[in-house]
Chains A and B, each alone.
Chain A
């Protein structure tokens, strides 16, 4: 069978074998000993011609309820937002997406400059000095931040708020097991980190205090106070932050955070069932040489012309091997490009506008849902675009009924928090209209 990705002809094969001086390609595999050779055919489905392949893939894709078909109030770390059309067009340019990591800067200036701009924009939003070129995702970036704190402070205890994304906390535990630091959970109080408890628990052995802002329950933490507790014990303040919210929220950098991480998914990246998204990692000048992963720096060429290169590579695995600051090699560069295009498209004004729209819609929705009997607002805390309601009965059941009315309901908090059984985390982004919020309220009223 001939394949469209394989240009070899019989004539080519003949000539090439002749040049090599063998009769068959089989001879080129002679080094594979017979006792480990695979004979026979791999038991995977037979090749599909493109038209049939398209049908098959469309059928699979069609079995999934997608966000174009439903009105969604589901967030919990992954959000449906406005994606300007330009984002898709730029990341579909194959000069970008078919390139490898920019190892040869002379022919990779486009990627390098785009990443330099990404780093700059992340610094602007977070209020930090430096940022790297991306991490796998927000949750793994958070674990890398803990690892940095552990190796920098040489202290063992990493305090993490229970209001940090549950999956990020799980990954932190896996990471801690490998590296040998200790993870201590700070309990909640009324939907935010319990600072009195943190004050009691933190001690000289504090490597880091990790909080999320806005936190997983949507609420805003008191970063000023948390900073004082973390730094009193010479631990690092690590803040995981939704970068879209930083369009209007006071950035963690203004609260003297040492590391700010998060996921740039809200910035022009489609949900894609959870990935690929784009972790970001920003820190202070003081910790610059401890950053994980690739970093782009500005320099000049032999003619004095400005250009960009991968830099500070003495931190990285290909140079330092077992002493590297991290094992990360490939990252999520194309998604960082998407986020860059998004931040350029929204720009200074748009990032404020979109963040404010989120606040307005979510605050209106919360007020509206507070009037629905049988549902209760769980917390009265300052929040961004998500809030918690208590449901009479099971969230799963409520969501099943909502789905029949074309609505994807909020996240079932009981799945990750024993204390939030029958609680739903409702996300309301700028895309939700008053009419859709009204629909949700009416649908919920109708359930009783």
Chain B
């Protein structure tokens, strides 16, 4: 990407009389229309552009955007792996894309079969007894899971349990989802190894504990080795264990949340299962549960009859209810299903093997140049601290911006909150060694620049379409829409 002038808004390209659509004239006899009081007084000021100009506009916008197909994207916690093209093709088959959620079940047996098999496959992969595929994203999965946990406790007449415990390394959606589910959040510290501090956990566990939410491997990329003990402690206190599956890419075929003692699990299909992130969504966040929580699953579930046909089961009297319109982000589920069929059990295990190998390789190669706060083997991702560079006057933000000049999307920065000047790097398994090596070389060069010519890093990026943007003014004097004046 080179320096260019600011791009026009599509509104600014508008010329009265131009169109990009083609509609037939009405072929029906005139009837009495709508009463005048319901009619719009002024038309919506939408752009008027011809089709070629419209295509050039969006093509130009796409050129100002970086996706996985453009280059390496080691955004920790987000699992930016390759988005297979066959998945895109399949999701566009008319039998998947042009079907209505309310058409008769007999006319949608292929879709129902796909959902049913996906429920089963994800149950097996996570070691759970059943899975709903309705949630639209990780956060919605968390909320769905927590609502089931709430219903479970209430179902046992255990009405005191209003606290959800999260480690200080947890993602922001964990406490936010706890609030929406009506719980209070208690945050516990991590120990010096970056793992859940079991003593601190013991202190807060009690008869008000609804659940402990964990990510394993956690957001530092470290496996919680005491998971069995933690699970026992939480269960002894009468609470349940929730697994945030954002990091499931590390453990496919190696370990299953269900076997670790987790009662509820969500997965992010837009991370682990290759569905594209779409510039912010749509995703899918299926939720798995153990047997005791199955009655509370959201409505409807897909079930199979004895004659082999499939149906939506709405007869779920203890269900938490509906959580999303229709049956979830079906088009995304089609892509994930296609991926699972592409890889099979052997392939999925290789995915985690190489994701972990890549991450450890990068960590070892970068260790001489950056502070590594936790030195045990990482899983699919690892964190560095930019503390050494900070002393040289270069912040992690600066290094992230400098990476843009090399054509990379930077790692996740300043998360988790417990590591100073954090850089969280997740290479994924779909990147070649050459790609990793080139990125490592760029990181080493930046570390050198921080030492020798810090201003190059501090003033980065130098080669992007815009330079650093004024976020403070954006928030203080918000301009959130185009207006003509």
Contact = CB atoms under 8 A, between A and B. Distances in A.
A302 to B, nearest CB: 4
6 contacts: A47-B341, A53-B86, A104-B400, A297-B479, A298-B480, A349-B48
A139 B323 CA distance: 9
Contact of A312 (B51, B139, B298, B478): B478
Given A326-B176, A399-B104, 10 more contacts: A100-B279, A102-B279, A107-B64, A124-B45, A177-B321, A251-B40, A254-B41, A288-B480, A322-B184, A344-B54
B454 interface: no
Contact of B433 (A8, A82, A295, A364): A8
Contacts of A117: 9-11, 482
B2 interface: no
A291 to B, nearest CB: 9
Given A6-B429, A94-B67, A97-B83, A32 B322 contact: no
B225 A110 contact: no
A58 B137 CA distance: 27
A114 interface: yes
A134 B281 contact: yes
A59 B19 contact: no
Contact of A334 (B138, B276, B353, B430): B276
A16 B474 contact: no
B256 interface: yes
A294 B181 contact: no
Contacts of A113: 7, 9, 61, 64
A112 B47 CA distance: 18
B139 A89 contact: no
Nearest to A92: B88
A140 B324 contact: yes
Given A170-B321, A174-B322, A360-B30, A80 B100 contact: yes
Given A36-B255, A98-B83, A47 B176 contact: no
A25 B351 CA distance: 12
Interface string A312-341: 111011111111101111111111010001
Interface stretch (A155-163, A187-195, A273-281): A273-281
Contacts of B276: 94, 97-98, 334
A418 interface: no
B253 interface: yes
B40 A246 contact: yes
B254 to A, nearest CB: 6
B242 interface: no
A242 interface: no
Contacts of B342: 3, 5, 47-48, 50, 53
Contacts of B88: 92, 97
Given A8-B433, A74-B100, A354-B23, A220 B54 contact: no
Interface stretch (A198-206, A371-379, A430-438, A440-448): A430-438
A116 B483 CA distance: 11
Interface centre among A76, A324, A367, by most chain B C-beta atoms within 10 angstroms, is A324
Contacts of B138: 329-330
A184 interface: no
B179 A323 contact: yes
A311 B478 CA distance: 8
A391 interface: no
Interface in A57-100: 57-69, 72, 74, 76-78, 80, 82, 84, 86, 88-90, 92-100
A44 B277 contact: no
A422 interface: no
B361 A179 contact: no
A110 B357 contact: no
A307 B26 contact: no
Contacts of A63: 95, 108-111, 113
Contacts of A76: 102
B196 interface: no
Given A297-B474, A346-B21, A48 B341 contact: yes
A78 B101 contact: yes
Contacts of A437: 28
Contacts of B412: 103
Contact of A321 (B108, B176, B344): B176
Contact of A78 (B45, B68, B102, B431): B102
Contact of B357 (A13, A50, A58): A13
Interface in A299-313: 299-303, 305-309, 311-313
A257 interface: no
Given A50-B86, A63-B110, A98-B83, A38 B256 contact: yes
B129 to A, nearest CB: 14
**Closest A-B pairs by Cβ, 4 of them:** A274-B326, A61-B95, A333-B280, A334-B278
Contact of A97 (B107, B278, B356, B464): B278
A388 interface: no
Interface centre among A130, A173, A295, A301, by most chain B C-beta atoms within 10 angstroms, is A301
Contacts of B278: 96-97, 99, 332-335, 337
A259 interface: no
A105 interface: yes
A352 B465 contact: no
Nearest to A41: B345
Contact of A297 (B61, B102, B328, B480): B480
Interface in B170-218: 171-173, 175-182, 184-185
B320 interface: yes
Contact of A106 (B22, B84, B404): B404
A361 B251 CA distance: 55
Contacts of A138: 325
A287 interface: no
B471 A311 contact: yes
A330 B283 contact: yes
A36 B150 CA distance: 27
A403 B104 contact: yes
Interface centre among B33, B61, B331, by most chain A C-beta atoms within 10 angstroms, is B61
Contacts of A134: 280-281
A3 B350 contact: yes
Contacts of B19: 347, 349-350
Contacts of B61: 96, 109-111, 113-114
Contacts of B225: 31-33
B266 interface: no
A286 interface: no
A281 B4 CA distance: 33
B63 interface: yes
Contacts of A99: 65-68, 277-279
B82 interface: yes
Contacts of B33: 359-360, 363
A350 B176 contact: no
Nearest to B482: A120
Contacts of B485: none
B480 A36 contact: no
Contact of B377 (A30, A270, A272): A30
Contact of B480 (A119, A254, A270, A411): A119
Given A306-B6, A334-B282, A137 B324 contact: yes
Contact of B31 (A3, A62, A270, A364): A364
A273 B429 contact: no
A208 interface: no
A276 B277 CA distance: 12
A116 B360 contact: no
A73 to B, nearest CB: 11
B38 A111 contact: no
A111 B61 CA distance: 7
Contact of A53 (B69, B184, B338): B338
A56 B341 contact: yes
Contact of B282 (A273, A309, A318, A335): A335
